[in-house]
Amino acid sequence: MLPSILLGTAEIPGTNARLRLYQRGDEFSIKIPGRGELMNSRVHGSEIALAELACARISAVERPRILIGGLGMGFTLAAALGALGPGAELVVAELVPEVVEWNRQAMGDPAGQPLKDPRVSVFIGDVCEPLRQERQAYDAILLDVDNGPEALIRRENDWLYTVAGLETVRRALRPGGVLAVWSASADQLFTSRLKHAGFSIEEVPIRPHHGRKRTRHHIWLAS
């Protein structure tokens, strides 16, 4: 078995946690000591589904503008680029600067180096900032922040999943726009908060990988 090589570490702003990037052969993983693996380049089915499901909802928009909260390993961004036409504009908000740099290096290869696409711009910082600042600016907002509404690593993200935060998200969407939220598991309280914030909802359980039959991630599509 090939050894895992530590390529880099990064602090998550506002926490005591650190990300660790490992490579084993052509496989990359990001882990948090004491919390286990956060993401892996070979397990990304639900990240791709997050983009494909949302983009299908806005397929009639000629020049869509998309905000993606959380770059991860770039699979959601790559799937959105593949689903959208040449006139699309995609903004990726990533809190940890090192994650952006890792994606620009070898870690971005499994996803096809989506940051090189000219339709993409990167905002380094909290996704809440552009959400608070812009009104009716996006046709779709895709959120893959922490592990979902309740499994938070960074407590500052809690606001994003409150009724007040979701109302702010709704104001940032254009008429007919869609919010897609990724989570490691279902959450009925979050479903209730989405409804309270004025969204109509579809919930989709998704397998993160074809070989993992017992594990299901969860995606909310809210319009």
pLDDT digits (tens, 9 = 90+) for 165-213: 999 999 999 999 999 999 888 889 999 999 999 999 999 998 765 454 5
The pLDDT assigned to 185 comes to 83
Q: Is residue 70 part of a domain?
A: yes
Q: Is residue 61 part of a domain?
A: yes
Q: Is residue 19 part of a domain?
A: no
Q: Is residue 27 part of a domain?
A: no
Q: How many domains does the chain have?
A: 1
The pLDDT assigned to 219 comes to 94
The pLDDT assigned to 93 comes to 97
- Mean residue pLDDT of the chain comes to 91
Q: Is residue 152 part of a domain?
A: yes
Domain that holds residue 187: 43-222
Q: Is residue 128 part of a domain?
A: yes
The pairs formed by 193-197 with CB atoms below 8 angstroms and a separation of 24 or more are: 193/161, 193/162, 193/163, 193/166, 194/166, 194/220, 194/222, 196/163, 196/166, 197/163, 197/166, 197/167, 197/169, 197/170
The pLDDT assigned to 212 comes to 47
Q: Tell me which of 6-10, 119-123, 159-163 is least confident.
A: 159-163
The pLDDT assigned to 49 comes to 94
Q: Is residue 35 part of a domain?
A: no
CATH code of residue 213: 3.40.50.150
Helix (H, G, I), strand (E, B) or coil at 28: strand
Q: Is residue 112 part of a domain?
A: yes
Instruction: Identify each DSSP E strand in 97-160 by its residue range.
Output: 120-124, 138-143
Query: How confident is the model over 21-47, as a mean pLDDT?
Result: 92
**pLDDT tens per residue, range 133-171:** 999 999 999 999 866 676 555 566 678 889 999 999 999
**pLDDT tens per residue, range 73-115:** 999 999 999 999 999 999 999 999 999 999 999 999 999 999 9
Stated pTM of the model? 0.92
The pLDDT assigned to 156 comes to 61
Query: How confident is the model over 4-12, as a mean pLDDT?
Result: 95
Helix (H, G, I), strand (E, B) or coil at 48: helix
The pLDDT assigned to 53 comes to 97
**pLDDT tens per residue, range 35-57:** 888 899 998 899 999 999 999 99
8 or 2: which leads in pLDDT = 8
The pLDDT assigned to 36 comes to 84
Query: How confident is the model over 13-38, as a mean pLDDT?
Result: 91
Length of the chain: 223
30 or 216: which leads in pLDDT = 30
The pLDDT assigned to 217 comes to 86
